[in-house]
Structure 1
Amino acid sequence: MYNVSQPAPDFRMPGNGPLTRARDWLDARGKPAWIVAMILGFVLFWPVGLAILGYMIWSKRMFGCSNRSQRRAHYYAAPTGNTAFDAYRDETLKRLEDEHRDFVDFLQKLREAKDKAEFDQFMDQRDRKSED
């Protein structure tokens, strides 16, 4: 029978297992620690190294993007106490984000137009060759 005085262990909480602690430990030491762990995994037992490599790619730790949300939070600093400056800063950041989004959309449309032009050129050349 279960003892009611003790709380039931919550196995769903993050940070309970040794793998979570190992991940946090490696994250605290940065990308070189992950690379060393991967190499040691390959040396000791190659499937372990392969699993670490797969995890590094899947979690974007390999390319230095794993803390993207932390970097984004850096831009949104705490209020300074000067309401006019805070409002200006927030407005400027929002404007820059909108301009960035518009620029990315523009680049995407530009790529699509270039791809379409190249495809149309290819089709015209193909039609000319088939007529000959």
Structure 2
Amino acid sequence: MYSTPSYPAASGPMVWLKRTEHWLDARGRGAWIAAMVAGFVVFWPVGAALLAYMIWSKRMFNRTVTTGPSRMSRRFGGSMMQSSGNAAFDAYKEDTLRRLQEEQDSFADFLGRLRAAKDKAEFDQFMADRKTDRPVDDTADAPRDAN
């Protein structure tokens, strides 16, 4: 009979580091930050190395640590645009998402107008303060006599 060869159990620092990396990835960005802080507390070069690795591997700034689907899409079984199989519900969902997008766009326009009005009010206040702060000197515009 044919038997599969038995390989020695993989061990060593690289395997341990890889397992630790996967363990931290499974727990999210908070686990990476906690490990980094613990590294700084125990021995600062370890914390600095973890910080450098997090920046280099883009774990520090990405929204999700893992390359697979996000937690939200895994929880709901796929993307938000995936059909439910019910045409009436899909039409309702599409209409609701369209309405929410329109509300978001109109709110962004409102914020833009609000910022513009605030900027104009601040500029008008600056100009009013500038007029009252500067003493009016009619002789500044008059030509000087050369002696």
TM-score class, shorter: 0.5 to 0.7
Question: Which structure exhibits the higher relative contact order, with contacts defined as CA atoms closer than 8 Å and separated by 6 or more residues?
Answer: 2
Distance 1:78 1:108, change over 3 A: same
Q: Highest Rg: 1 or 2?
A: 2
Q: Which residue of 2 aligns with 1:95?
A: 99
Q: Which residue of 1 aligns with 2:84?
A: 80
Structure richer in helix, relative to its length: 1
Contact 2:36 2:48 in 1 (8 A): no
Q: CA deviation at 1:114?
A: 0.6
Task: Give me the whole-angstrom Cα distance separating, in 2, the residues matched to 1:33 and 1:49.
Answer: 12
Q: CA deviation at 1:36?
A: 1.4
Q: Which residue of 2 aligns with 1:27?
A: 25
Identity of aligned residues (%): 44
Task: Give me the whole-angstrom Cα distance separating, in 2, the residues matched to 1:115 and 1:99.
Answer: 24
Task: Give me the whole-angstrom Cα distance separating, in 2, the residues matched to 1:82 and 1:53.
Answer: 43
Secondary structure of the corresponding residue to residue 52 of structure 2: helix
CA deviation profile, 1:6-56 (whole Å, cap 9, x unmatched): xxxxxxxxxxxx78x82x542321343122122133232153255367578
Q: Which structure 2 residue ranges, 5 or more long, are not aligned?
A: 1-16, 137-147
Normalised to the residue count of structure 2, the TM-score between the two structures is 0.55
Q: Which structure 1 residue ranges, 5 or more long, are not aligned?
A: 1-17, 61-65
Q: Which residue of 2 aligns with 1:12?
A: none
Among 122, 126, 129, the residue aligned to 1:118: 122
Secondary structure of the corresponding residue to residue 80 of structure 1: coil
Task: Give me the whole-angstrom Cα distance separating, in 1, the residues matched to 2:49 and 2:38.
Answer: 9
Task: Give me the whole-angstrom Cα distance separating, in 2, the residues matched to 1:72 and 1:91.
Answer: 21
Aligned pairs, how many?
107
Task: Give me the whole-angstrom Cα distance separating, in 2, the residues matched to 1:96 and 1:52.
Answer: 39
Kindly report which structure 2 residues correspond to 1:1-132, keeping only aligned pairs within 5 A, or say none.
22=21, 25-43=23-41, 44=43, 45=45, 47-48=48-49, 50-51=51-52, 59=61, 66-67=63-64, 70=70, 76=80, 78-131=82-135
Q: Which amino acid aligns with 2:99?
A: R
Contact 2:29 2:59 in 1 (8 A): no
